Structure 1
Amino acid sequence: MKNGLSYFTPSLPQFSTIRQAILRTSVLLSWERTPGDGRAGAGEGRSGAVAGPGPSADSRVPPAGKAQQRLKERYRLGSLLGRGGFGSVFAATRLSDGAPVAIKRVPQNRVHHWGELPDGTSAPLEIVLQVKVSNGFSGVVQLLEWVELPNDILMVLERPEHSQDLHRFIRARGFLSEEVARQLFRQVLEAVRHCTSCRVLHRDIKPENILIDLATGQAKLIDFGCGTYLQKTAYIHFAGTPSYSPPEWTHFGWYYGEPATIWSLGIVLHQMVCGEHPFRRGQNISWDHQLSLPQWLSPECQDLIRWCLSMPDVERPSLEEVFCHPWMQDIHLP
């Protein structure tokens, strides 16, 4: 096995595109549905375009009432990439230039938080947050455009053609070498720092929400459906995946943004180098819990994982301290 980013060689069998690994669905997104009653003002269909790298979005906003037809004319729907409580994500191709994209469909009745875009337009909070981070930074998947329909919200997102989420990437190998894990983890940290600079808290950092471009080795943070605005005060409502929630939430019902993020990053790093979640499903983590790590991990890697997974949130490192940790040095990014 070669070192470094040779792991990302797309010619290997495990690097086949996600579309080839999933059966094609007959679901044709909401634009094939008969329009029904929706939120006030949504019946005519609203849309917007967001500038960003990769496939550029059309800067023109379609006339009201034509957004639904416009999407049908501009994109060819592909296979189902994923489905969950949030809705569904499909592979698609932009007909104008053949660029691969992803189309995320979220039912209107599952949108509980709304915000305001820079132009004053009301939009689901997920879109508001995506617009904030979709300003050219390559480590976060870019929002290209969005459409509000009577029953659904549709988001057109950047999609690397040959890609795999980190969960599947780890599972295919059992675990990652420290060298490869360090390169990927550094990119995730860069993405988190970018979100922080945009005053956005992701709140659902986990391997399933980290997409890897298999052709380049670049990692991208995806899915801001659980995100919120970054604040200095404590949060008293949780959104995200329970098994990645910090112990202060479980024990006390509150958490601060950065320490909670560091906790989830510690779990992700553990999964990278050990191949499994550090805490068994359903395990109630005691306050004096002692984390056991494989002895074949380097002392520096063990130290960083234990630091990130410190039980008291005040004992966890800051994001910048993680960047400066000895294990994070001498990294050559793709």
Structure 2
Amino acid sequence: MDSNGVTELEDLCVQENLSPLDENVDGHFAGVCQHKDASLISINFSVNPMHLETGELMFCLWVSQDLNQSSLTSFTLDIPSSSNDDSMGISDSQVNTSSSLGGGKTAEVIEESYPPCKAFDDNYQNLRTVGHGAFGFVVESLEQSTKLEVIVKYILRSKVLSENWRDDPVLGRIPLEVSLLSHISHPNIVQVLNVFFNKEYVLMVMEKHGSGMDLFEFIEHKPVMDEGLYSYIFRQLVSAIAYLHRSGIVHRDIKDENIIVNEHFHIKLIDFGSAAYMKPGEMFATFCGTVEYCSPEVLMGNWYDGPELEVWSMGVTLYTLVYGENPFFTVDDILACNFKPPFPVSDYLTNLLSWMLLPEPSDRITVEELETDGWVFQPVDMTQYSWQEVMSSSDGPTIPEYEVVYDEPSLYEDSLRLNCIHTMPSVPSPSNRCKSRLHFRSY
């Protein structure tokens, strides 16, 4: 967007009696910008503030044209609570447009009355709205015959780009997200149970996993964990992403908010609104996801293949799980891959995180290597962990010192049933990562 557009955006904030852009503006919005030919264009945009080392405040602004709105006279700008989700996963982000923008319903109206869909309404009862975003909203519902709680994603048809529709032999014309999830099956990926349609929305009915707690909420509870439990949770993410890549799919929005965990520490990857198929010889140029999970090469606007971005995002997710905070606090930190862990962990884990968060994509560990990594698939006795004990308050991390005997599991199910062994002193590793990374070994 040119300077005229930015000026118009700030002017409109003032016209609507809103504060100028400051560090508290963070989320997704709808508005207008002024083109250089003086015409007004309806847009959707995401704002994310970043503090530079110089002390300056820089705003990252991603803008896309709202093709549904051809002309504008007024608009409403609703500033949501802090969220960076550019899709419609379960979050607190919210996008509102006034009725002058073509008569669309606001998020408040949607939450009070759900769009009718007879085939769906005959079988399900909506209980409450649990999330909303630029492309629709998410509802917790009850399957009336079985009393099974499910999650229903209402996808606004008008917000799905033309290239993101697919012709399905059974379901007909459906959004790419629905098509992807309807044709894949993995124990750590959310499962689609049914699909319904009305004039405005595509309704995707999905399983509800546990209580619906995502990994962000889980981490916020400051769980009492050790590296065995970290690895148990992380290996499931590795398994899910490896499966997607073998299926020719990249998720492109891996983060703690898109991982649901239940009371058995089993996880499910959700929100495939940014997912895409990989094609041989073709690269991606579009930024998707959240800035804090974005790799430096993508942040700089470079083209990317996909898997290398996923490894970076997985590294940020693992770091956040272990340390309870994001590894990067500024854009400069991300570009320099500058992170300072707040406390020590095992050399193995430190080495793994360093390998995943390297600035050069070709130097990073691959998903295939993660599948055979000794720390990721270390022996873990899950009978030693209870949800109640893990979720009790903790004064600090559990720092392990151990050596494990590692036998690579032949099946995914085997990796979840490995037995623990007695702890032994850790094997020291060099402080700087060398090309041949230290792995767990069989003795």
SS of residue matched to 1:326: coil
Out of 256, 268, 271, the position equivalent to 1:223 is 271
- 1:203-236 Cα offsets, whole Å, 9 max, x none, are 111011001122x321001110111102343211
Deviation, 1:253, is 2.4
Number of residue pairs matched?
A: 271
User: Normalised by the size of structure 2, how large is the TM-score?
Assistant: 0.58
Shift of 1:102: 0.5
**Aligned match of 1:64:** none
Deviation at 1:174, TM superposition (A): 6.1
In structure 2, C-alpha distance between the alignment counterparts of 1:239 and 1:303, rounded to whole Å: 28
1:307 aligns with 2:358: no
Corresponding residue of 1:194: 243
Inter-partner Cα distance in structure 2 for 1:108 and 1:120: 15
**Residue matched to 2:146:** 97
- Over 3 Å counting, the alpha-carbon distance change for 1:95 and 1:287 in structure 2 is closer
| Residues 176 and 272 in structure 1, CA contact (< 8 A), matched pair in contact too | no
CA deviations 1:147-190 (Å, max 9, x no partner) are 23211121101112433100000111167432221111001111
Structure-1 residue corresponding to 2:112? 27
Q: Which of the pair is proportionally richer in helix?
A: 1
Structure 2 counterparts to residues 142-161 of structure 1, below 5 A = 142-161=191-210
Percent identity for Structure 1 against Structure 2: 28
Aligned to 2:167: 116
Q: Which residue of 2 aligns with 1:126?
A: 177
Q: Work out the CA distance in 2 between the residues paired with 1:119 and 1:90.
A: 25
Q: Which moved more, 1:247-256 or 1:91-100?
A: 247-256
**TM-score when scaled to structure 1?**
0.75
Q: What is the DSSP-based 3-state SS (H/G/I as helix, E as strand, rest coil) of the residue aligned with 1:141?
A: coil
Q: Contact 1:175/1:272 (CA < 8 Å) preserved in 2?
A: no
Letter in 2 for 1:320: E
- The answer for the alignment partner of 2:318 in structure 1 is 269
Q: After superposition, what is the alpha-carbon deviation per residue over 1:257-304, rounded to whole angstroms, capped at 9, x for unaligned?
A: 110000000000000001011111x42346544332244211111111
How do 1:161-310 and structure 2 match up within 5 A?
A: 161-173=210-222, 176-214=225-263, 216-232=264-280, 233-280=282-329, 282-285=330-333, 287-310=335-358
User: 2:372 corresponds to which residue?
Assistant: 324
Give the superposition deviation at 1:106: 1.8
Q: Is the contact made by 2:261 and 2:268 (CA closer than 8 Å) also made in structure 1?
A: yes
Q: What are structure 2's unaligned runs of at least 5 residues? A: 1-89, 91-109, 381-415, 418-443
Relative contact order, CA 8 A, sep 6+: which one is greater? 1
The equivalent residue for 1:12 is none
Structure 1 residues not aligned, in runs of 5+:
1-17, 19-24, 32-67
Secondary structure at 2:193's aligned position in 1?
A: strand
If you compute each CA radius of gyration, which structure gives the higher value, 1 or 2?
Answer: 2
Matches of 2:349 and 2:285, distance apart in 1 = 32
Q: Distance in 2 between matches of 1:175 and 1:279?
A: 23
